[in-house]
Amino acid sequence: MSALLQLIWLASPALPIGGFSYSEGLESAIEHGLVRDEASAAEWLSQQLALTQTRGDLALAARALPAWREGDLPALKVLNDWVLQTRETAEMRLQTEQMGRSLLDWLRNHHTASPAQIAQCQALGQPTYPLVMALALAGSGAALADGLLAYAFGWAENMVGAAIKSVPLGQSAGQRMLARLAAEIPAAVAQAMALAERDQRQAFSPMLAILSARHETQYSRLFRS
């Protein structure tokens, strides 16, 4: 029960790390007419789960979580550097750095990470969100697959929230979109666990990078990315 409560807590949009302030290119996709309604928003997020989260951040977290439990600091340094090197725009890098810092601040006031682990995380240079979240999940005592399910569902809730605000959509539409993502997340987690090694991960999503770059100069926007 303790591990389950920790996962619910870490997956909550109320976690004070700023995830609600990012749309990860979705707001730009709406501006350019690629997302217009519930159906197109649901398809956009489904593809983002499959093409970027599963192959990138979730796969990386699948390697980082056991690395934290094993105390494998060289591996964690390589993983953190990979995140920084594969963020294709200033906004994408800002998001992972800011959310990483905020989650690390949160961990300082809780007991899911030791002071030594927090110091080790800081020693990575600029701790990124996937690495810090992996540390938080490692301290929950949950199994790897369960931790990744919580990670993915937390992402899904934030992104559906962004769609509701920016398309805009109603709450019932948001729940239908979240139900679709929830049905797809278990397979995404299983795939991410199979892609945990560096030569299998990838961060190639050129359209998302273009939209993120365009968002930096978008005239009117609600979100930081």
Residue 219 backbone phi and psi in degrees, to 5: -65, -50
Query: Largest Cα–Cα distance of the chain, in whole Å?
Result: 48
User: pLDDT tens track of the chain, all 225 residues?
Assistant: 589 999 999 999 889 999 889 999 999 999 999 999 999 999 999 999 999 999 999 999 999 999 999 999 999 999 999 999 999 999 999 999 999 999 999 999 887 888 999 999 999 889 999 999 999 999 999 999 999 999 999 999 999 999 999 999 999 999 999 999 999 999 999 999 998 677 788 888 999 999 999 988 877 777 766
**Distance in angstroms (rounded) separating the CA atoms of residues 44 and 167:** 12
CA atoms within 13 A on the CB side of 182: 11
Q: Which amino acid is at 105?
A: D
**Distance in angstroms (rounded) separating the CA atoms of residues 59 and 201:** 6
**What are the start-end ranges of the E strands in 43-182?**
none
95 contacts 133 by C-beta, under 8 angstroms: no
3-state secondary structure of 136: helix
Residue 196: the pLDDT is 65
CA atoms within 13 A on the CB side of 89: 21
CA atoms within 13 A on the CB side of 68: 29
CA atoms within 13 A on the CB side of 120: 19
User: What's the predicted TM-score (pTM) here?
Assistant: 0.94
* Tokens matching residue 15: 């976690």
66 contacts 144 by C-beta, under 8 angstroms: yes
